Chains A and B, each alone.
With several copies, the nearest count.
Chain A
Amino acid sequence: MKYITTIDEKQYEVEILGPGQVSVNGHVYEVDFQSVSGQPIYSLLVDGQSHQAHVDQGEEGTLQVILRGALYTATIEDEREKRLKVAGGVGTAASGEFTMRAPMPGLIVKVAVEDGAVVKKGDVLIILESMKMQNELKSPRDGKVVRIQVKAGDSVEQRQAMLSVE
């Protein structure tokens, strides 16, 4: 199986040659890959070097790999250049509309914008209180605020849609 894997804008051609062999950009590695405790922790031996990685689902179908304390965001596409849908991606579209979802359960302290407001990347949209901290949630892009679904005083669940920027 051949994949194109992008890490921090750099592409790697990764081919799984069989159990225990992987090639990266044509270089063949001996690989022993195991998940630990049935958790998303992986032990990887690459030519004898021992690595431990914690892998989470990222946004837009990416995988977040934490390796020796560093984060790598990976996009994996299969050989026919079709994006591989990894399970459990977060529901923010890559382009078009951005839906702001609650990153954790909490209490809406303030909705800082009104429906139809024009916002710039970095503008505060919502202040959410959780774990005794007030967190300012900012717009990831320029756009227009639509579909505000929460108001100050509301409790929100994790991943609950709060408003959109289009």
Chain B
Amino acid sequence: MSNFSKVLVANRGEIAIRIIRACRELGLHTVAVFSEADRQAMHVRYADEAYPIGPAPSKDSYLRMDKILDVAKKSGAGAIHPGYGFLAERSDFSQACEDAGITFIGPRASAIAAMGDKAVARATVVAAGVPVVPGTEGEGSLSDEELLRVAPQIGFPLLIKATAGGGGKGMREVKAIEEMPSLLESARREAQAAFGDGNVYLEKLVEGARHIEFQILADMEGNTIHLGERECSLQRRHQKLLEEAPSPFIDDNEDFRQRMGAVAVKAAKAVNYANAGTIEFLVDKDKNFFFLEMNTRLQVEHPITEEVTGVDIVTEQLRIARGRQLSLTQEQVKMQGWAIECRINAEDPYNNFLPSTGFVSHHSVPTGPGVRVDSGVYAGFQISPYYDSLISKLVVRGDSRGQAILRMRRALEEYRIVGVKTNIPFHQRILEQARFIAGNFDTRFVEERFSLEQADEGRETHPEIAAIVATLVANQQAERSAHIIARGKRDTSNWKWISRWERMHQ
């Protein structure tokens, strides 16, 4: 709409940096906001300006619309990019920006609202002729009693999903009616905690389903295109872990791709969509596909689409928000090569994927041809418990899926993070699985057919090498402890300290 020259980025972590970079490359000034936990975060340093907005918990900082709008006004930012998460899918925030005369870099409030309530969203797209998974569409605020009554009609297994939700939070799988009451309770509790809204709905569980999504771009004039699909079936507890583009299930079936893409465009148009968004589908093994939901924002996994189409999605978002037409037509969209993204999370794959926090003392990222890292941490950064566990997104591009897999393997082997546990070993195992390599997996693959321990069987292992390393480390530690105790007995001279400090700082 407006020709803004300064953008406030209402987010943190890797996505804030992604957006700041795009703005810099367009000559736009950037304004960062940060919580008390994030003064040392990279986005604070990479932006042109940075302002504190409150204590560490999101609700006191990154979710505070009032403070963020204040910073926008104070700094003269003409636009706000919400990233993903936090305020990205809050229609009231989009509206508040508009009311304040600030461009919201995302869809109109009405489109967010229509797609944000999953039940309304389903009703809307059904009216436009888009197929959906059977479930409780209509009202989103059914009581437990009503849900228990309707469940047998949908059939088991089914899913309980948070009406306001996303990212697997507040989601539960129900195999039989008996376990439903307790699962409803925990789903509502988690949804309430995550979104401030405990409403849930039911949805048939499509078995053997693949999660395939289409990237949408739409300008203010209603020109709407898709940038092909992303395969997101590799999930654990409904959290995406590894995505690829194209989908090996679609691969070179261009007709199938265009059919799904056309439906995705239709769904977006049903809510008069503008800016970047994503239509998620469930696809069964017979190539039936069902609308799942629309994410009315930039998606975590957008880089893989960028790598295979050559379209910079954030740059397009900024163009669209400035009222310009899309820079390409549907016919000009070509998927070339293959891209894979591994989400590198601070969590312990050997201990039930528990989140891991701490001081990152070393961060050596893989580089070289065909490797892209979108990261929000650096050596010296403290990973706090307040925000999500995503450390970085490791993205590779290859001419073929095979090349991309080999490239990702070497990149994972090169990646070194010290200070927190990461799920890198999990990705390494996945990439060695015959079923993964064959492209033969669904959304249940990780939970049902994969465990790190099983995966370890049948592989070449190096227990002797591990024994040597462990013994040498233990031996060194024992020697060093003895040495330190011995040294402590001597007086440490002032001058040694100073010269050590000087050496460190020269």
Q: Which residues of A contact B (CB under 8 A)?
A: 1, 3, 5, 7-8, 10, 12, 14, 16, 22, 24, 29, 31-34, 36-46, 48-57, 63-72, 74, 76, 84, 86-88, 103-106, 109, 129-135, 138, 158
Contact = CB atoms under 8 A, between A and B. Distances in A.
B463 A71 contact: no
A67 B75 CA distance: 22
A133 B355 contact: yes
Given A41-B416, A71-B350, 13 more contacts: A3-B474, A16-B471, A24-B468, A34-B40, A36-B45, A43-B44, A45-B44, A46-B468, A48-B74, A53-B466, A54-B418, A63-B474, A109-B193
Contact of A70 (B361, B362, B381, B425): B425
A129 B169 CA distance: 12
A97 B62 CA distance: 42
B474 A104 contact: no
A102 B363 CA distance: 25
13 contacts: A22-B471, A36-B380, A39-B380, A39-B418, A40-B505, A50-B47, A68-B428, A72-B467, A86-B477, A103-B351, A103-B354, A131-B346, A131-B387
B463 A88 contact: no
B391 to A, nearest CB: 11
B470 A55 contact: yes
B175 interface: no
A1 B475 CA distance: 8
A72 B418 contact: no
A93 B33 CA distance: 45
Contacts of B478: 84, 86
Nearest to B386: A131
A135 B459 CA distance: 31
Main secondary structure of the interface of A (DSSP, over half): strand
A35 to B, nearest CB: 8
- The 7 lowest CB-CB distance pairs between A and B, nearest first, are A37-B380, A69-B428, A74-B470, A72-B466, A88-B502, A131-B355, A12-B467
A92 B386 CA distance: 26
Interface residues of B, number: 76
Contact of A104 (B356, B381, B469): B356
Given A76-B470, A135-B355, A49 B49 contact: yes
Contacts of A54: 416, 418
B472 interface: yes
A48 to B, nearest CB: 5
A48 B388 CA distance: 26
A33 B156 CA distance: 57
A39 B45 CA distance: 14
Interface in B11-39: 32, 39
Most chain A Cβ neighbours within 10 Å, of B40, B51, B413, B464: B464
A166 B465 CA distance: 37
B194 interface: yes
A68 B471 contact: no
B472 A16 contact: yes
B40 A69 contact: no
A48 B50 contact: yes
B463 A8 contact: yes
Contacts of B441: none
A87 B48 contact: no
A132 B474 CA distance: 36
B379 A14 contact: no
A48 B51 contact: yes
A10 B190 CA distance: 43
A41 B468 contact: no
A54 B424 CA distance: 12
Given A70-B459, A87-B505, A132-B388, A24 B464 contact: yes
A84 B477 CA distance: 10
A15 B362 CA distance: 31
A7 B466 contact: yes
A14 B468 contact: yes
Contacts of A32: 39
Given A16-B475, A134-B190, A22 B468 contact: yes
A76 B474 contact: yes
A63 B498 contact: no
B357 A158 contact: yes
B468 A31 contact: yes
Contact of B470 (A65, A88, A106): A65
Contacts of B473: 40, 42, 55, 63
B487 interface: no
A69 B412 contact: yes
Given A68-B413, A87-B502, A5 B470 contact: yes
A133 B505 contact: no
A123 to B, nearest CB: 14
B501 to A, nearest CB: 7
Contacts of A135: 352, 354-355
B355 A70 contact: no
Given A63-B473, A87-B481, A104 B385 contact: yes
Contact of B462 (A63, A67, A109, A158): A67
Contact of A7 (B388, B452, B463): B463
A43 B364 CA distance: 15
A3 B461 CA distance: 21
A68 B474 contact: no
Contact of A67 (B48, B386, B466, B471): B466
B506 interface: yes
Contacts of A134: 190, 193
B456 interface: yes
B378 interface: yes
B467 to A, nearest CB: 4
B429 interface: yes
A48 B362 CA distance: 26
Contacts of B190: 134
A104 B418 contact: no
A9 to B, nearest CB: 10
B389 interface: yes
A53 B469 contact: yes
